[in-house]
A and B are shown apart, each in its own frame.
Chain A
Amino acid sequence: MSRGFASNYRIVLLASLVGVSFVSLGARLVQLHVIDRERLLGYVAKARRDIIVEQARRGDILDDRGNILATSKSQIVLGVDPQSLRESDEPKWAQLAAMIDMPLPELRRIFTTKTRPAAKVVETPKGDLAAEQRFDFARSNEAATAETEPSHPADEAVDENGEVPIQWAKLRESIDESVYDKIVALGINGVYGNREYRRFYPQNSLAAHLIGFVNKKGTPATGIEHYADFYLRGQDGWRESERDGKRHEQAQFRTRSVDPVDGYLVKLSIDAAVQHIVEEELAAIAQKFQPQKATIIVSDARTGFLLALANYPTFNLNEYGKADMAALRNIAVADVLEPGSTFKIVAISGVIDRGLVGPQSTFDCSIDHIEYKGKVHGLPKEDHHFEHPLTVREITSHSSNRGAAQLAMLMGEQAFYDHARAFGFGQLTGFPIGGEVRGIMAKPNTPGWDGLTITRMPMGQSVAATPLQIHYAMATIASGGVALRPQLIKEIKDAHGEVVFAYDRVIERTVIRPETARTMASYLGWVTVKNEGTAPEAAIPGYDVAGKTGTSQKVVDGHYSTKEHVASFVGFFPASRPRVVISVIVDGGDARAPGGVAYGAKVAAPSFKHIGEQLVQYLHIEPVAASPHPALFAMEGGRR
């Protein structure tokens, strides 16, 4: 190549062209990357960059033995795009109808309805992309929403009849993953679903008023779901990424990301088996007596932790939308009632604790009037006539109204009131769920406290309390004289099962001395002794049972009704070494009660016994050495 392979002219021309090309290219690059950089980056960021939220999984709620009470699982909302259906798939429609439990004619109607009136807004279509794209959980909620938003009416293609094509019609909500897999395997073009996390309650109505529920919008509405939402909800993660024109994430352009933190597990103190025993008993009460409402509470006498709490009526947590408002109400804490004779433990323990009476002190309970502070007061009626003066033990076991009134008078109005407050009446127990109310208890020397109050309140009239207050008043005696905090949450665990926080027994205050609690337990033990107490129906063979019946008249139209009563039995066992405290409260079971009156002994005490007998087996409660005399038992109270 003597003169090279090109002439000078050609070389210069070629070099110039290459040079010009490079310069042009450089100029364009400068324009794109320097001059228009911000504008173009903004456009790219707007079109492609995206923050993709990764949802944290809501934590489970477990019972004390690790059984799942509430969990989160994905479910599919199944729909169809009628425009995409193929004739060749029609033979599979019957199979699909059977899978989703829908009548074939109904399914056929949905499939063959291709248009709708333009003005009518139909249910939100859930996307128009291929199914596998929709199920990409890696995409954000926002993006998913954007994909599934209905096209704007203005954008809709309206035909000459004023109709627009239907892009999506819902077939069924809440399809399980396994069923959906089978539906996908059918391969019907145009049938697809959208996945979303839903709260699921495996035990249905079990402990419904304690667990509460999360509504379809994902808002925790009641119960532990609401109270412990801070722990349960977790923390959503996010990542910064890009999408292509079809809104698919371009995984290679992921930049920053924060992993989601799943919600904590909340372990409750309730036991599913105990709760089930209680709910079965409640169902039996409902069937037998058809009350307006009823409550059963079981707690650990040593720690104050709830083992079970159930109300009638109740509801299915998975179908909360079908429940009426009355069933949603946690009547154990949100409703008040006159405690009746169960309230007598206040006056009895008050005089014993203050040393105002001894074992031999007696009170004439046959009198119908008594002088107090210079005035003659009428005493309440008795269900029985007592031939001889009663000791405090007999006042307890026979449930003497006049005896209780005299004991309260011995204490004095203010001391009696203060003692009742110490037991927790008239104030919140601090139970965190259910919308607890204080109850009603008038203060001495206020308009609510009249001349009759000192004779009526000791027998449980002129005072209103929640079932939980009544229960924990009795639990105070079972625990050796200290008021324990009613607790429901036992532990908070992270997603790996590590305990983040553990709750322990909390003593709110000391109400009575341990010796007084021992004496009270022995007195209350006589209540279940045949021919001695009011509720031998509550006695559990082989065990010393302490408790108190209550039969309070309901106030109807401002007067105490003789036809409507609240029957209750509140007690604990073994009396000498309490393990469980059980309260059975039945409101309005008179119509079907023996004799037409819902006495605590007839309506509530048998349920106490039935529950107690089952708990003996389940909780392995050992009998205390048999003794014909409950008063001789040693009481250890909460000092173990």
Chain B
Amino acid sequence: MKTTGTHAFVNQLLIYTLVMIGFSGSVGMGAVWLRHQISVTANRTKQIEARIAEVERHFRETEAAIGTEQGPEALKRRNLEWGLGLVSPKDSQIVRENGSPEERLAAKQNQGLFTDGVSFVGLKPGGSSLR
């Protein structure tokens, strides 16, 4: 192929033009694909948002249903329906503690620690053992 002369120049121009058209087309197609992907992603995001909204709606509904079931009226009804026989304690059944309950329980727990029988700890090489 000649590289000089009018024809050669025109040929080159045509080739470059075709290359440019091809390149531009590719860029255009790329842009379209990109926009399509953006659209797909945006729609997917929208769907996820809608799904989250739906889950939240169900969550709120469940929360409201739990609220209803935890109401005093509903609990009393259930108590009757299921024959649980739950009643409020009477004052005579209640023993009131004036001191700290933690300390009292700890004292009760530790009461037998040093009095429940006698344990001897024998020391010997290789470790200790209870006898």
Residues of A within 8 A of B (CB): 1-5, 8, 11, 14-15, 18, 57, 67-68, 71-74, 135-138, 176-178, 195, 200, 202-204, 206, 249-252, 254, 272-273, 276, 541-542, 613-614, 616-618, 622-623
CA distance A510 to B84 in the complex (A): 50
Residues of chain B within 8 A (CB-CB) of A137 are 50, 53
CA distance A544 to B64 in the complex (A): 41
Contact of B71 among A74, A251, A272, A622 (CB under 8 A): A272
CB of B7 within 8 Å of the partner chain: yes
Contact of B60 among A72, A204, A252, A542 (CB under 8 A): A72
CA distance A248 to B8 in the complex (A): 55
Closest residue to B17 on the A side, CB-wise?
A18
Given contacts A200-B64, A251-B46, contact A177 B72 (CB under 8 A): no
Contact of A4 among B11, B42, B65 (CB under 8 A): B11
A-B contact pairs, 12 of them (CB 8 A): A14-B14, A57-B60, A68-B64, A74-B61, A202-B71, A206-B73, A251-B39, A252-B41, A252-B43, A276-B71, A617-B88, A617-B89
The answer to whether B91 touches A541 (Cβ under 8 A) is yes
The answer to whether A273 touches B96 (Cβ under 8 A) is no
The answer to whether A176 touches B39 (Cβ under 8 A) is no
Contact of A252 among B38, B72, B88 (CB under 8 A): B38
The answer to whether A542 touches B91 (Cβ under 8 A) is yes
Whole-angstrom distance between the Cβ of B48 and the nearest chain A Cβ: 11
Told that A252-B38, A618-B88 touch, could you supply 6 new A-B pairs with CB distance under 8 A? A1-B11, A11-B10, A71-B60, A203-B71, A204-B71, A623-B96
Residues of chain B within 8 A (CB-CB) of A251 are 39, 42-43, 45-46
Main secondary structure of the interface of A (DSSP, over half): mixed
Closest residue to B47 on the A side, CB-wise?
A251
The answer to whether B61 touches A176 (Cβ under 8 A) is yes
Closest residue to A542 on the B side, CB-wise?
B91
The answer to whether A252 touches B42 (Cβ under 8 A) is yes
CA distance A200 to B60 in the complex (A): 11
Contact of B67 among A57, A68, A177 (CB under 8 A): A68
Whole-angstrom distance between the Cβ of B40 and the nearest chain A Cβ: 9
Residues of chain A within 8 A (CB-CB) of B89 are 617
Whole-angstrom distance between the Cβ of A18 and the nearest chain B Cβ: 7
CA distance A14 to B18 in the complex (A): 12
* The 3 residue pairs across chains A and B that have the minimum distance between CB atoms: A202-B67, A276-B72, A251-B42
The answer to whether B61 touches A73 (Cβ under 8 A) is yes
The answer to whether A252 touches B73 (Cβ under 8 A) is no
Given contacts A1-B1, A4-B7, A276-B72, contact A622 B60 (CB under 8 A): no
The answer to whether B63 touches A276 (Cβ under 8 A) is no
Given contacts A137-B53, A251-B42, A622-B96, contact A273 B72 (CB under 8 A): yes
CB of B26 within 8 Å of the partner chain: no
The answer to whether A67 touches B39 (Cβ under 8 A) is no
CA distance A252 to B44 in the complex (A): 10
CA distance A1 to B70 in the complex (A): 92
CA distance A45 to B17 in the complex (A): 37
CA distance A263 to B20 in the complex (A): 58
Whole-angstrom distance between the Cβ of B35 and the nearest chain A Cβ: 7
The answer to whether A71 touches B46 (Cβ under 8 A) is no
Given contacts A73-B57, A176-B61, A617-B88, contact A67 B71 (CB under 8 A): yes
CB of B68 within 8 Å of the partner chain: yes
The answer to whether A138 touches B58 (Cβ under 8 A) is no
Residues of B within 8 A of A (CB): 1-2, 6-8, 10-11, 13-14, 17, 35, 38-39, 41-43, 45-46, 49-50, 53, 57-58, 60-61, 63-65, 67-68, 70-73, 88-89, 91, 94, 96
Residues of chain A within 8 A (CB-CB) of B72 are 203, 206, 272-273, 276
Given contacts A177-B57, A178-B61, A273-B72, contact A252 B39 (CB under 8 A): yes
The answer to whether A71 touches B50 (Cβ under 8 A) is no
Closest residue to A75 on the B side, CB-wise?
B61
Residues of chain B within 8 A (CB-CB) of A8 are 6-7
The answer to whether A136 touches B63 (Cβ under 8 A) is no
Looking at B2, B17, B49, B64, the one whose CB has the most chain A CB atoms below 10 A away is: B64
CA distance A541 to B94 in the complex (A): 14
The answer to whether A203 touches B73 (Cβ under 8 A) is yes
Closest residue to B57 on the A side, CB-wise?
A74
Closest residue to A3 on the B side, CB-wise?
B7
The answer to whether A74 touches B60 (Cβ under 8 A) is yes
Whole-angstrom distance between the Cβ of B53 and the nearest chain A Cβ: 5
CA distance A616 to B96 in the complex (A): 12
Residues of chain B within 8 A (CB-CB) of A11 are 10, 14
CA distance A616 to B7 in the complex (A): 110
Residues of chain B within 8 A (CB-CB) of A177 are 57-58, 61
Closest residue to B49 on the A side, CB-wise?
A138
Given contacts A1-B1, A3-B7, A11-B10, contact A203 B67 (CB under 8 A): yes
Whole-angstrom distance between the Cβ of B9 and the nearest chain A Cβ: 10
CA distance A57 to B64 in the complex (A): 14
CA distance A135 to B54 in the complex (A): 9
Whole-angstrom distance between the Cβ of A64 and the nearest chain B Cβ: 14
Given contacts A67-B71, A73-B60, contact A138 B46 (CB under 8 A): yes
Closest residue to B13 on the A side, CB-wise?
A15
CA distance A68 to B62 in the complex (A): 12
Residues of chain A within 8 A (CB-CB) of B8 are 4
CA distance A200 to B64 in the complex (A): 8
Given contacts A136-B50, A617-B91, contact A5 B11 (CB under 8 A): yes
The answer to whether B11 touches A68 (Cβ under 8 A) is no
The answer to whether A67 touches B67 (Cβ under 8 A) is yes
The answer to whether B68 touches A202 (Cβ under 8 A) is yes
Whole-angstrom distance between the Cβ of B45 and the nearest chain A Cβ: 6
Given contacts A73-B64, A138-B49, A177-B57, contact A206 B71 (CB under 8 A): yes
Residues of chain A within 8 A (CB-CB) of B53 are 137-138
CA distance A231 to B89 in the complex (A): 39
CA distance A65 to B87 in the complex (A): 21
Whole-angstrom distance between the Cβ of A494 and the nearest chain B Cβ: 17
Residues of chain A within 8 A (CB-CB) of B63 are 68, 71, 73
CA distance A136 to B10 in the complex (A): 58
The answer to whether A67 touches B70 (Cβ under 8 A) is yes
CA distance A57 to B60 in the complex (A): 11
The answer to whether B39 touches A250 (Cβ under 8 A) is yes
Closest residue to A12 on the B side, CB-wise?
B10
Whole-angstrom distance between the Cβ of B88 and the nearest chain A Cβ: 5
Residues of chain A within 8 A (CB-CB) of B88 are 614, 617-618
Residues of chain B within 8 A (CB-CB) of A206 are 71-73
